[in-house]
Amino acid sequence: MKMSDIVAQYIIDMLNECDDCAEIQRNELAGLLGCVPSQINYVISSRFTPEQGYIVESRRGGGGYIKITRITTDRRVAIMHVVNSIGNRSSAAAASAILSNMMAQNMIDPTEKMLMQAALSDTAYKDVPQELRDALRASLMKNMLATLVILQH
């Protein structure tokens, strides 16, 4: 398991134990997990973003801390937040990462993830000119996710 996965899992465990809110001291956590403090920063900035359902606050200085709060909203609101965060273009890797995060947060189930991932893969676009693929993928992803919201009504 990679160090970034270990750090992320430790923070998720803290969130699960403390009602979706965790305060950490970066240097303390780095010492506990045997990594450098910048690794903690990297994990927080890449895996605990608003698009992934988290609010991160930090206070610098001697008593500084990082506070991570898991946003709990209903599934439809969370999915629409993701739809609104998808830009005009999306690579297959970015689409896959978004779907994995959505599944991890129980916004979509494994079957929905697999179906959407198949529809958004580079294989599905082999006959589409390269310069159009990412725009088409983003548009289709937004439409599929918006349809999930409609189906839940």
CATH number for position 60: 3.30.56.130
Lowest mean pLDDT among 24-28, 57-61, 115-119: 57-61
> Of 70, 87, 105, which closes a domain?
70
User: Do 64 and 83 reside in the same domain of the chain?
Assistant: no
Q: Which domain holds residue 116?
A: 75-151
- Residue 153: which pLDDT band, with cuts at 50, 70 and 90? low
* Chain segment 27-50, per-residue pLDDT in tens: 899 999 999 988 999 999 988 887
Work out how many domains the chain is built from and give that number. Answer: 2
How many other C-beta atoms can be found within 10 angstroms of the C-beta atom of residue 79?
20
User: Do 80 and 147 reside in the same domain of the chain?
Assistant: yes
User: Do 26 and 86 reside in the same domain of the chain?
Assistant: no
How many other C-beta atoms can be found within 10 angstroms of the C-beta atom of residue 137?
24
| % of the chain exceeding 70 in pLDDT | 95
d(CA 109, CA 152): 13
User: Do 52 and 82 reside in the same domain of the chain?
Assistant: no
- Residue 62: which pLDDT band, with cuts at 50, 70 and 90? low
- Residue 54: which pLDDT band, with cuts at 50, 70 and 90? confident
Instruction: Write the secondary structure of 1-36 as one string of H (helix), E (strand) and C (coil).
Output: CCHHHHHHHHHHHHHHHCCCEEEECHHHHHHHHCCC
Q: 21 pairs with which residues across the strands?
A: 69
**What's the pTM?**
0.59
- Residue 20: which pLDDT band, with cuts at 50, 70 and 90? confident
User: Do 90 and 134 reside in the same domain of the chain?
Assistant: yes
Q: In degrees to the nearest 10, what's the CA dihedral of 24, 25, 28, 32?
A: 20
